[in-house]
Amino acid sequence: MSFAKQNILGLSVTELSLALSEKWISSQELTEAYLSKIEESDGDLGAYLTVTAEIALSAAKRADILLSKGNARPLCGVPTAYKDNLCVAGVPTTCASKMLEGFIPPYSATAVKALSEQGAVMLGKLNMDEFAMGSSCCTSAFRLTRNPLDRERVPGGSSGGCAAAVVSEEAPYAIGTDTGGSVRQPAAFCGAVGLKPTYGRISRYGLIAFASSLDQIGVISRTVSDSALILNALTDVSARDTHDATLAKLPPIDFSKDINSGIRGLRLGIAPQFFGKDITREISLAVDNAVKTYNSLGATIVNVNLPSLKYALPAYYVISSAEASSNLSRYDGVRYGHRSSAPSDSIEETYICSRSEGFGDEVKRRILLGTYVLSKEHYSDYYQKALKVCGLIRTEFDSVFHQCDALIAPVTPTPAFKIERDFLSPVDQYNGDIYTVPASLAGLPAISVPCGTTSDGLPIGMQIICRPYDEKTLLRVARSFEAEVSAR
Amino acid sequence: MKLIKDYELVVGLEVHVELSTESKIFCSCPTAFGAEPNTQVYPVCMGLPGAMPFLNKKVVEYAVKAGLSTNCEINSFSRCDRKHYFYPDLPKAYQISQFDIPICRGGWIDIGNKRIGITRIHIEEDAGKLIHHPLNGTMIDCNRCGVPLLEIVSEPDISSPEEAEAYVKKLRSVLVYAGVSDCKMNEGALRCDVNLSVKKIGQSRLGVRTEIKNLNSFAFIRKAIEAEYIRQVNTLERGGQIIRETLRFDTDTGKVYTMRAKEDAADYRFFPEPDLPPIILTVDQIDGIRPQLPELPDSRKKRYSEQFGISDYDADVLVSNRTVADWFEAVAEMSKYPKIAANLTISQLFRLLPADIEEIPLSPAAMAEIADMSGDGEINSSVTKKVLDEAYMRGTSPREYVRENDLAQINDPSVIQATVYRVLSENPALIADYRSGKTNVKKMLMGLCMKLTHGKADPVKMNELLEKLLNSEE
């Protein structure tokens, strides 16, 4: 049997995996279909920074050989794409920054290796906010990515290219990164599923650091079951990784198993801090309705309190900017990346010119902020205080998770905003991260699942947050909602 | 060094020592010295985007060994921090070091009768090396990037250039014993920063201190301290003020020059390294490392004095280099006369060994044989020297050499007597000279006696008899 081309692109990873292993389609066919979709639609959408057609086609051929032998892994032959802050050996990796234009890493990230070991087919590298700093994809130095559902709006960020590609059928799934919401927020804006696993679950080796204590590799997919399947592949290799010292040494788990076992008896927590004054009525209502659905599916709803969350946003910006200022120091134009061609008399001048030309405004803003909060004079007032807040938030989450098994919250206070919103001050833009940064600060696993649409037809995301390393419960809670909604 | 105008010298040292681990501190690159530029590099030590450090467990173990060997407390919790500054030899633009919680703190070592406090010992990574080429400009060799270092910070307990030298020598000796570093100064494996201030005797408040960076020989440490002491005293005597600054010692001119004033010194923006978990050391782990340490120089010295009857000074000389000490212990095991062996080692063997002793070509058995022949009166001192030279240079067996060349000591009193009588009867003029007060002609007579016996007679007995006859009233 064979599928019509348009049907192929609409299939989930779980369905593709089956179709490939049953040889209903070949990986080459599938890959070609995706490549022509990208060629046809990405000029306007702007999800990709690099399309690696040749690499994809040769990987597809290899995958087809494996598939024909009948012992292929679940993701074998399934195309994917990576956010452009994940190193792929021999392929330009830019972080959407002029600073890294033309940089070709000599090695691949552990996550990338994990998937290519499974036989995944890389279609290319996806657009993002410069160095993952932003929530609109608008700070990319190279191109604008549009929201597939409303071309006048942003896809969210920083993994905006990932979400746009997955929703517009330019990739069946994509690997992004989440520091303060960068997987969950674009997933919510575009109507995809965005999974941020626990900090320490997936090796960060080869992920170009923004804020090392918060960065985590995540998955953007079309279904919750897909994200479980992909998480399996990522954790399988991370369990053997020896490059990331912050990685938890845990035996691999099958996240797909029991994902459909429902949520009867689970306690779901609602905290008022996730429903502040900035949230739109539509989003608030959509999340409320989701909670009602859960109740009807047999979950107990409990009210919980996380008073310290009001400090989460400033703490997040202090810590992430501090670490960013440190992590981005290495881009000095000496060994790789952008080097100013302006005449200079000293190495200092070369540094200054290269960095001034290479970084965009948002990156510079955060480097300045981070340098300030780490300076001797201000360290204790800002950085140390932010760490204390972080500790408080962790403690509160700990105690809340004695009262419930998962928290239900919105992902964002508003749906996807218009591309022209430069009139918003940076602080107003940062406010959009208010509901995603708490899980980041506490290192908790969280997922964004579509839970409705606005009257304008824009997607609304619901966020589920669980205990550290309890992705199993997280995915089960997410899946039971998804299953219920799709059954309606 | 003599103090000038009652100004006391106050010195604290920061010694950087390269650890002799096979791989780097945060990746598996080799650390071998002298490889082609940029051949021992990896994304981690090159600071490539996305690369992450992973702490080499050996480095922690070595740091603990260094701490235990210098009487430090080992912190059960310590961590790595980032120290930021821009320089082309520092690929990440930050050095991973330890800021407020080092692995070891509060130790000491003794130099002679003085105790020098050790404030802390921490681990850190080395930077790369800039190579200035006349045609290609400045190039960067990253082989050194990520080579593990210990920084050992002393208390300001040092009060002369000689003490500074003795401290560094002792520290080096202890670290080589502990097996954590080879401390080869010519390869840059031991470098030293000097913190120095002066104050009038009796004053309790310390003066303003300056820092002299990166001294890599004992002579430079001594000379730099002397030069900076004189400079500070002269400045104060002229009514000037010492300003806090970082200095460079010019080995050609012997003077110090300003590198940078402290006011415009960089703010290093230290903060905990988020890519590395804290270093946790349990009591069990530390106790597991303790027995791996060998007997250290101080304890050996004490034992040598007691066990072999060697003077404190000689014992000190023998233990200061672990290769020598281990070798000497093997000799002492085999010899009836360890004290003679010690004397021979210090007075004769050291003359033959290079300054940087890495191995001793003379076998302990040969040395034991020589010491025993000497102690038993089978060979005299000049033959002993000859035999030792032969054995050292050519690996000849001492006993066989003595036999083949007929070098055994002449102990027969009749032969000695006959020789002395003959020399005296042939040199009446010299006897007259001696008796008129020119007693140094005795040496000449002794030389003639030894010549007659081909240098083999027991010189002590010969001398005794000669003296007796010269002083008799006949």
Q: Which residues of B touch A326 (CB under 8 A)?
A: 82, 84, 94, 269, 271
Q: Which of A1-5, A135-139, A436-440 has the lowest mean pLDDT?
A: A1-5
In terms of domains, do B199 and B340 share one? Answer: no
The beta-carbon neighbor of B277 closest among A206, A246, A322 is: A246
Task: Tell me which of B271, B289, B307 is where a domain ends.
Answer: B289
Question: Would you say A216 and A181 are in contact if contact means Cβ atoms under 8 Å apart?
Answer: no
CA distances from A267 to A301, A401, A413, B250 (A): 6, 10, 24, 72
Q: Which residues of chain B neighbour A322 with C-beta distances below 8 Å? A: 271
Among B38, B44, B86, which would you mutate to test the A interface (most chain A Cβ atoms within 10 Å of its Cβ)?
Answer: B86
Q: Which of A116, A158, A221, A308 is catalytic?
A: A158
- What is the SS3 assignment for chain A? CCCCHHHHHHCCHHHHHHHHHCCCCCHHHHHHHHHHHHHHHHHHHCCEEEECHHHHHHHHHHHHHHHHHCCCCCCCCCEEEEECCECECCECCCCCCHHHCCCCCCCCCHHHHHHHHHCCEEEEEECCCHHHCCCCCCCCCCCCCCECCECCECCCCCCHHHHHHHHCCCCCCEEEEECCCCCHHHHHHHCCEEEECCCCCCCCCCECCCCCCCCEEEEEECCHHHHHHHHHHHHHHHCCCCCCCCCCCCCCCCCCCCCCCCCCCCEEEECHHHCCCCCCHHHHHHHHHHHHHHHHCCCEEEECCCHHHHHHHHHHHHHHHHHHHHHHHHCCCCCCCCCCCCCCCCHHHHHHHHHHHHCCHHHHHHHHHHHHHHCCCCCCCCHHHHHHHHHHHHHHHHHHHHHCCEEEEECCCCCCCECCCCCCCHHHHHHCCCCCHHHHHHCCCEEEEEEEECCCCCEEEEEEEECCCCHHHHHHHHHHHHHHHHHC
> B-chain residues within 8 Å CB-CB of A379?
269, 271
Q: What is the pLDDT of residues B122-179, one digit of tens each?
A: 999 999 999 998 888 899 999 999 999 999 999 999 999 999 999 999 999 999 999 9
Residues in CB range of A252: below 8 A, 6 or more apart? A232, A235, A236, A239
Interatomic CA distance for residues A98 and B213, integer angstroms: 38
Tell me which of B89, B100, B141, B269 to substitute to probe the interface with A (most A C-beta atoms closer than 10 Å): B269
> Do B266 and B304 share a domain, yes or no?
no
Q: Indicate yes or no: CB of A246 within 8 angstroms of CB of B94.
A: no
In this predicted structure, what is the pLDDT of residue A338? 95
Residue B66 lies in a domain: yes
What's the pLDDT tens digit per position in A282-336? Answer: 999 999 999 999 999 999 999 999 999 999 999 999 999 999 999 999 999 999 9
In a domain, B2, yes or no: no
Average pLDDT of span A197-221:
97
Which residues of chain B have a Cβ shorter than 8 Å from any chain A Cβ? 43-44, 46-55, 82, 84, 86, 88, 91-94, 140, 267, 269, 271, 274-277
Do B285 and B314 belong to one domain?
Answer: no
- Does B103 share its domain with B132? yes
Q: Could you say which of B43, B93, B277 has the minimum Cβ distance to residue A329?
A: B93
The b-or-e profile of A411-433 (16+ CB within 10 A means b, else e) is bbbbbbbebeeeeeeeeebbbbb
CB contact under 8 A, B50 and A374: no
Q: Which residue of A has its CA nearest to B271?
A: A374
B27 lies in a domain?
yes
CA distance, residue A243 to nearest chain B CA (Å): 6
The distance of A409 to chain B (nearest Cα, Å) reads: 28
Nearest CA in chain B to A88: B50
**Inter-chain touch A208–B50, beta carbons under 8 Å:** yes
Task: Scan residues 312-331 of A and list those with Cβ closer than 8 Å to B.
Answer: 322-323, 325-326, 329-330
Query: Are B389 and B351 members of one domain?
Result: yes
Give the closest-approach CA distance of B24 to chain A in angstroms: 14
B450: CATH: 1.10.10.410
| Chain A: closest CA distance from residue B27 (Å) | 8
CA distance A288 to B160: 77
pLDDT (mean) for A391-409: 98
Question: What is the average pLDDT across A380-401?
Answer: 97
Q: Provide the shortest C-alpha distance from residue B66 to chain A (in Å).
A: 25
Say yes or no: B271 and B310 in one domain: no
3-state SS string for A74-137: CCCCCEEEEECCECECCECCCCCCHHHCCCCCCCCCHHHHHHHHHCCEEEEEECCCHHHCCCCC
- B278 and B341 both lie in a single domain: no
Our answer to whether residue A83 is catalytic in this structure is yes
Same domain for B51 and B83: yes
pLDDT, greater one: B32 or B263? B32
Q: What percent of chain A has pLDDT over 90?
A: 91
Tell whether A206 is within 8 A of chain B (Cβ).
yes
- Domain enclosing residue B449, as ranges: 413-471
pTM of the complete model: 0.90
Contact B271 A379 (CB under 8 A): yes
Residue that is last in its domain, among B289, B312, B343: B289
Question: B283 and B379: one domain?
Answer: no
What is the number of structural domains in chain B? 3
Q: Using CA atoms, how far apart are residues A467 and A398, in angstroms rounded to an integer?
A: 8
Say which of A182, A221, A320, A354 is annotated catalytic: A182
Mean pLDDT of A83-94: 98
Segment among A351-365, B10-24, B253-267, B393-407 with least mean pLDDT:
B253-267
Q: Are residues B358 and B240 in the same domain?
A: no
Mean pLDDT of the residues in chain A: 95
Q: Would you say residue B1 lies in a domain? A: no
Instruction: Locate the chain B residue with the closest alpha carbon to A86.
Output: B50
Domains detected in chain A? 1-488 (3.90.1300.10)
| Shared domain check, B311 and B227 | no
Domain match, B348 and B444 both: no
Mutate to test the interface with A, among B38, B42, B48 (most CBs of A within 10 A): B48
Backbone angles phi, psi at A109, to 5 degrees: -60, 150
- A158 part of the active site: yes
pLDDT in tens, B369-428: 999 999 988 888 888 999 999 899 888 899 888 888 888 888 888 888 899 999 988 988
Residue B474 has pLDDT above 70, yes or no: no
Q: Which of B52, B97, B141 to mutate to test the interface with A (most CBs of A within 10 A)?
A: B52
Q: Comparing C-alpha atoms, which of B173, B127, B150 is closest to residue B19? A: B150
pLDDT band at A4 (very low <50, low <70, confident <90, very high): low
Q: How confident is the model at residue A1 (pLDDT cuts 50, 70, 90)?
A: very low
Which of the listed residues B350, B377, B404 is the one where a domain comes to its end?
B404
